[in-house]
Amino acid sequence: MAKKLVGTMKLQVKAGQANPSPPVGPALGQRGINIMEFCKAFNAKTADLEPGAPCPTVISYYQDKSFTMDIKTPPASYYLKKAAKINSGAKLPSRETVGTVTAKQVREIAEAKMADLSANDVDQAMKIILGSARSMGIEVK
């Protein structure tokens, strides 16, 4: 017999740094999910990622208190800020430029994000990343 799905939730947790403190603990606890089991499983799955990278995670939890998680790649903005060596995007994106990235860096970001993007090939994924860069005030050279 299949498990009965109770619901899903989305969290953004830093890679390798899941712990029972807020916001993770309370969000899981009120849904009856074993917090320590989630933290151990999440930290084990994200051990190969860069520590501290924000990982969007979709958690499906079931009636028998079990859960499954789908960990996505970090957001494009995280990669773009890292490549441009900036802390935040522009306050007025169309009027000011806060940093620059190269086309090669955009291709690397697109290849890393390919699994989570709705693109058929790397060139289309690069266009998505270029749009994100433009909206952050990052110039592509």
Residues of the chain with pLDDT under 70: 1-2
**Strand, coil or helix: 131:** helix
Alpha helices in the chain (DSSP H): 24-29, 35-45, 76-84, 103-113, 122-136
Q: What does the alpha-carbon distance between residue 14 and residue 40 come to, in Å, rounded to a whole number?
A: 13
Q: With respect to CATH, is domain 76-140 assigned 1.10.10.250? A: yes
Q: Is the pTM of this model over 0.85?
A: no
User: Which one, of 37, 44, 100, lies nearest residue 65 by Cα?
Assistant: 37
Q: Which amino acid is at 110?
A: A
CATH topology match: 5-71 vs 76-140: no
Q: What does the alpha-carbon distance between residue 11 and residue 56 come to, in Å, rounded to a whole number?
A: 6
User: What pLDDT does residue 2 have?
Assistant: 67
Fold type of domain 5-71: Ribosomal protein L11, N-terminal domain (3.30.1550)
Domain spans of the chain, in order of start: 5-71, 76-140
